[in-house]
Amino acid sequence: MTPRSQWWGSFLILTLLAGTWTFVLEGNALGEQDLLDAPSSPTQKFDADLIDQVLSSDYFEDDKEAAKDAPSPPAGSLPVQPEVAEEVEEEVTTSKNPFCVGCPMEVDVDDDKIKEMAGFAFSTHLSGFDDLERAQRMVRVVNAMTQVVAGQKYILDLEVGLTNCTKAQHDLDKEQCAMDPSEDTFICNFEVVEQSWINNKEVVRSNCKREKVSRREDGDDDEQDDYDDLEQDGDIVGDGDTTLPTAQKQPKSLRRKRDVVSSPSPPSPPVPILGGSRDAEESTEKLMDLAKFAVQQLDTIDADDDARLVMEVLDSKKQTVSGWMYTLKIRVAHTTCKEGEEVTLAKCKDKIVPPFRVCSVKILFQPWQEVQRKMTESQCLPEKAYYKKKQGKKIAKQLDLYKENEVNKKQKLHRALGGFHEVDVKSSELVELVNFIVESIDQQSNAMHAQKLVKIVAAQRQIVAGMKTKLVVELGYTGCRKNPTLDKSQCEIDNTREHQFCNVTVLEQPWLKSKQITHSKCGPRESMFLDRTKRSLSLFHIKLEKDEGVNQKEFQSFMDMHGKKYESREEYTYRLGVYMENMKKAKLLQDNEQGTAVYGSTAFADLTEEEFSKHYLGLRPDLRQGTKKVKTAKVPYLSSLPDEFDWRNYNAVTPVKNQGMCGSCWAFSVTGNIEGLYAKKYNKLMSFSEQELVDCDTLDEGCNGGLPENAYKALEKLGGLETESAYPYDGKGEKCSFDASKAAAKVKGFVELPKNETEMAMWLVKNGPISIGINANAMQFYMGGVSHPWKFLCGKKSLDHGVLIVGFGVHTYPYLNATLPYWSVKNSWGEEWGEQGYYRVYRGENTCGLAEMATSAVVD
């Protein structure tokens, strides 16, 4: 070793000792652990291995002599092993000096500087895999090391997971994206070099491999083994989705290019599973609280009012996702205690009705959400021999269930003969029945798009004069329009729309070849249980947090402004929850707005998406008749378009109307078009009857929706359109009372306009207002301005509202020297909505699909 390196090593030793003596001189002779626990920075931290080597090195000559006289280790302790150098892949340089100048040093993963570098590495170099559409998110820093190079090198292992957002959505608003608990996390390795004197940092190496997760192989899960023993012995019926925790692929260890002197030590603890399940470390009280929560949710969705009782938590696992996912196995007893009452062992031990059941549940805990705990999965199966194991016997003795009383015997008999029993939701015997239910519900629905099964939430059966089955099913809307020949297997569920939950009862009588739905009720998750008296706070009850007062104050202002009243406290609470969720949607629109629109608390802010669609939209492209080619409008050539044009300035547009809670938007769009064409042709503005179309157009479905091109055909066949005063609007589908002698306008066909918005504007200037279909996603919360939402928030494929283009213009930004072209659109929700009943929407990009279905009548 050179004198220079010897001096450098001695200097490091003295520096270390000086730090140690400083602690002593301050008045407390700190131990080795205290020294290790002292606060440090990424580049200044005492390493345990380093201290061991210093204390055992030949820099302390007296230590070797002292070691000769040291007493022998006590009996039973580990024998002292000869010092052996650990194998390394690179060339090993042995030296009298135990220090490695310039080698990587482990540092605290929670240090602010490490977090900064991890964030830089992730955001700079981990834009995602080319074959993945979803965005990724860093979960945590797993390992961190620093190394002095020409600057400072940071060697980082990061745990990364997939979110439920696309990359585009994540770039727009990452706060709306959550980790996907169904996907496994993986490890990415980075090396970052920072050269602070030139204000430069750079990722010099990155390695990310998305490996499949592997099963644990250590076989040390004693609780799982006990459960497997029960299943093997026939004590319980195993559930098919119970598996051992999975282990993520571990990162390669970072090696140091130096001798590591081994010393006797106990076996290393198991390596934690990154992103995988692990034993829950929570207290018994916390796990029992989670188990009771799960059982309350099971009680909420079942058909009876009998309460379940948690007997024991058999197994508990925890996984870090976007929050924490708890997987519990719970021994549960049915009782005759009533739901809503206090259900305890002391109060209900004489009311237990065997057999016990073993329930596997998953609970997602997200403390930052309004609803902090959600049960995402559940499955309960009967336990066959619940007294066989010692634990089961102990509980049975405690409850004195060896001596069943007469009440329990009668209840057990009642359950066995004629009572409901739970059915495995994964049972193949439910497949055909559920398909029947989904098709029936879909046929009864007024929605434009077909629904598809997401999952069966719960199922029970009862033997009557046939077989009665009660189910709770979750349905999702697809992007496919309903038609008799639709193959739903080709349709993807649109997860941007709210799912429906349906309580359905089906009676099957095979000998009569009969299968009928005797009861069904569908709605959003929250509304399904509003009429149930048994819950005060249930799974679907909106939980109010510390900001309850603020939310309620805003909601009260909304109610006062729009004259809202609710019949019960439950309805008020439910509407408050819907309002809060809708304000999140409005914020999402506002945060991503490309124009000048303002979104907020409109009169529709307390309605769910389905309620809003049913009562205030109504465009039904699925009602199109046949495939006959539609006549295309002839577009007049204009050498130039004016900057603005509006038929309201030419007395060709009637005042804004209100369709009320009737899905008749299509009729208002058509009459508005005819009113403008008639005014231009005859120089006389008249208001025509929407009610005539609602009542007499047999090609459409009145308040349940319609299609402008069908309406044109119906008017041509009927013989004309009466005025508003002759056939006034009442917003209800009634018997047709059309009087041909009172028909004021005659229709002799219709035309379809091109999808080019410049040509649409030319046609409008020369002919009149245009009937269009539009996606109304942005309209529910629109308050004013030029609306220009991103396509992923308002696409062209989901046209659900009929409106009328009456003109166009250009919004200018004087200070920015920029312009924003727009269409002026007449709506049918009254003058209180939007800009005195009008909607300004960006012109030039087929915003919200406004150019997809542009049509006009041909007036005789």
pLDDT tens digits, one per residue of 701-756: 888 889 999 999 999 999 999 999 999 999 888 899 999 999 999 999 999 999 99
What's residue 696's pLDDT? Answer: 94
Residue 504 lies in a domain: yes
Q: Which residues are catalytic?
A: 665, 801, 827
Residues 6+ apart with CB under 8 A from 675: 652, 653, 654, 685, 686, 687, 688, 769
Q: Is the peptide bond before 42 cis (omega within 30 degrees of 0)?
A: no
Q: Is residue 542 part of a domain?
A: no
Residues 323 and 470 in one domain: no
Q: What distance lies between CA 686 and its chain's CA centroid?
A: 49
Residues 397 and 434 reside in one and the same domain: no
Closest to 297 in 3D by CA, of 535, 459, 542? 535
Task: Name the H helices within 683-823.
Answer: 690-696, 708-718, 757-767
263: amino acid identity, one letter: S
Q: 698 and 816: one domain? A: yes
Under DSSP, is residue 101 helix (H, G, I), strand (E, B) or coil?
A: coil
pLDDT tens digit sequence for 178-191: 777 667 788 888 89
166 touches 133 (CB < 8 A): yes
Backbone angles phi, psi at 42, to 5 degrees: -55, -30
Q: Helices 665-682 and 708-718, interaxial angle, to 10°? A: 60
Instruction: State the DSSP string of 491-540.
Output: --B-TTSPPEEEEEEEEEEGGGTEEEEEEEEEE-TGGGGTT-TT-SS-TT
Q: Please tell me whether residues 384 and 455 are part of one structural domain.
A: no
Same domain, 642 and 767: yes
Assigned domain for 574 exists: no
Q: Alpha-carbon distance 705 to 799, whole Å? A: 12
Residue 57 forms part of a structural domain: yes
The CA–CA distances, whole Å, from 802 to 607, 670, 705 equal 19, 8, 10
Q: Choose the final residue of a domain: 499, 523, 547.
A: 523
Give every CB contact of residue 197 below 8 A, 6+ residues apart in sequence.
none
Q: What is the pLDDT at residue 76? A: 43
Do 434 and 410 lie in a common domain? no
Q: Are residues 412 and 441 in the same domain?
A: no
- Given 24, 49, 68, the domain boundary residue is 68
Same domain, 686 and 789: yes
Residue 517 and residue 398 share a domain: no
- DSSP class of residue 270 equals P
Rounded-to-integer distance, Cα 501 and Cα 520, Å: 10
Spatial CA neighbour of 13 closest among 64, 53, 40: 53
- In terms of domains, do 452 and 375 share one? no
Q: Specify the number of domains making up the chain.
A: 4
In a domain, 182, yes or no: no
Is residue 303 a part of any domain in this protein? yes
- Strand residue runs (E) in 9-124: 105-106
Query: pLDDT, tens digit, for every residue of 398-448?
Result: 444 444 444 444 444 444 444 567 788 887 778 888 888 888 888 777 778
Together in a domain, 760 and 839: yes
Do 294 and 313 belong together in one domain? yes
Before 524, cis peptide (omega within 30)? no
Q: In a 3-state reduction of DSSP, which class is residue 355?
A: strand
Contact indicator for 849, 796 with CB cutoff of 8 Å: yes
pLDDT at position 299 is 81
The rounded distance, in Å, linking the Cα atoms of 370 and 373 is 9
CATH code, domain carrying 461 = 3.10.450.10
Residue 14 falls inside a structural domain: yes
CATH of the domain at 701: 3.90.70.10
* Residue 408: inside a domain: yes
* Residues of the chain where predicted confidence (pLDDT) is lower than 50: 1-99, 128-131, 212-274, 385-418, 529-550
User: What's the rounded Cα separation, in Å, for the pair 810 and 752?
Assistant: 25
- Structure-derived torsion over alpha carbons of residues 283, 288, 293, 298, reported in degrees to the nearest 10: 140
Q: What is the pLDDT of residue 4?
A: 44
Q: Which of 417, 444, 470 is the last residue of a domain?
A: 417
Q: What is the pLDDT of residue 137?
A: 83
Q: Is 190:121 a contact under the CB 8 Å cutoff?
A: yes
Tokens of residue 611, six digits: 């309620």
- Segments forming the whole domain that contains residue 382: 279-417
pLDDT of res. 199? 79
